[in-house]
Homo-oligomer: A and B are copies of this chain.
Amino acid sequence: MKAKVYVRLKKSIADPQGTAIKGMLNKIGFSKVEDVRIGKLIELDLGDVAKEDAEVQLNEMCKKLLANTVIEDYRFEIEG
Question: Which A residues are closer than 8 A to B by beta carbons?
Answer: 6-8, 18, 21, 24-25, 28, 30, 32-49, 57, 60-61, 64-66
- What are 27 A-B contacts defined by CB distance under 8 Å? A6-B41, A8-B41, A21-B66, A25-B61, A25-B65, A28-B64, A28-B65, A30-B60, A30-B61, A32-B48, A32-B49, A33-B45, A34-B47, A35-B43, A36-B42, A36-B43, A36-B44, A36-B45, A37-B43, A38-B41, A38-B42, A38-B43, A39-B40, A39-B41, A39-B43, A40-B41, A41-B41
Query: Given the known A-B contacts A38-B40, A65-B25, are A32 and B47 also in contact in the complex, defined by CB atoms under 8 Å?
Result: yes
Q: Which residue of B lies closest to A31 (CB)?
A: B47
